[in-house]
């Protein structure tokens, strides 16, 4: 029950970081990563996964 970011696709805009309701996304080294322990796939909070809904590149924030 977690999402991950495909690093090669990511543009590092950071929109996902501030939309994530669980504080699961952090910038580490060269890219953003999702902490699977914290990621809830937005279940119970929002209808859609916020990271995937705001991400400018399709198929970049995807189920792990």
Partner 1 sequence: MDSAVWEKIKDHPCFSEEAHHYFARMHVAVAPACNIQCNYCNRKYDCANESRPGVVSERLTPDQALRKVIGVANEVPQLSVLGIAGPGDACYDWKNTKATFQRVAKEIGDIKLCISTNGLALPDRVAELAEMNVDHVTITINMVDPRIGAKIYPWIFYGNRRYTGVEAATILHERQMSGLEMLTARGILTKINSVMIPGVNDEHLIEVNKWVKERGAFLHNVMPLISDPAHGTHYGLSGQRGPKAMELKALQDRLEGGAKLMRHCRQCRADAVGLLGEDRGQEFTLDRLPDKVTYDASKRETYRAVVARERGDRLAAKSEALGMVKTAGSGKSLLVAVATKGGGRINEHFGHAKEFQVYEASPKGISFVGHRKVEQYCLGGRAEDKSLDGVISTLEGVDIVLCARIGNCPEDRLKEGGIRATEAYGYDYIETAIGALYAAEFGSEPLAATA
Q: Does the footprint of partner 1 cover residue 33 (CB under 8 A)?
A: no
If you ran DSSP here, which 8-state letter would residue 34 be given?
E
Structure tokens at 53: 């809904």
Q: Does the footprint of partner 1 cover residue 18 (CB under 8 A)?
A: yes
Q: Does the footprint of partner 1 cover residue 50 (CB under 8 A)?
A: yes
Q: Does the footprint of partner 1 cover residue 6 (CB under 8 A)?
A: no
Q: Are 64 and 25 in contact (CB under 8 A)?
A: no
Contacts of 9 (CB under 8 A, 6+ apart): 57, 59, 60
Find the shortest distance in angstroms from Cβ 11 to partner 1.
5
Find the shortest distance in angstroms from Cβ 58 to partner 1.
10
Residues that bind partner 1 (CB under 8 A): 9, 11-15, 18-19, 46-48, 50, 53-54, 56-57
């Amino acid at each position: 029950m977690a999402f991950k970011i495909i690093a090669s696709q990511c543009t590092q805009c950071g929109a996902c970081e501030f939309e994530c309701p669980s504080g699961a996304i952090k910038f580490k080294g060269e890219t953003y990563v999702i902490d699977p322990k914290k990621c809830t796939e937005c279940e119970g909070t929002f209808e859609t996964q916020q990271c995937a809904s705001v991400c400018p590149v399709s198929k970049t924030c995807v189920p792990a």
